[in-house]
Amino acid sequence: MADITMCTQTLCPNAAHCYRVQAKASDWQSMATFSYTISTRGVECENYMPMYRTVATDSTGHNVALSR
54: which strand partners?
66
> Which of the four pLDDT bands, split at 50, 70 and 90, describes residue 3?
confident
pLDDT at site 52: 79
> Which of the four pLDDT bands, split at 50, 70 and 90, describes residue 65?
low
> pLDDT, tens digit, for every residue of 6-53?
999 999 999 999 999 999 988 899 999 999 999 999 999 999 999 876
pLDDT at site 66: 56
The whole-model pTM stands at 0.69
H-type helices in the chain, by residue range?
19-22
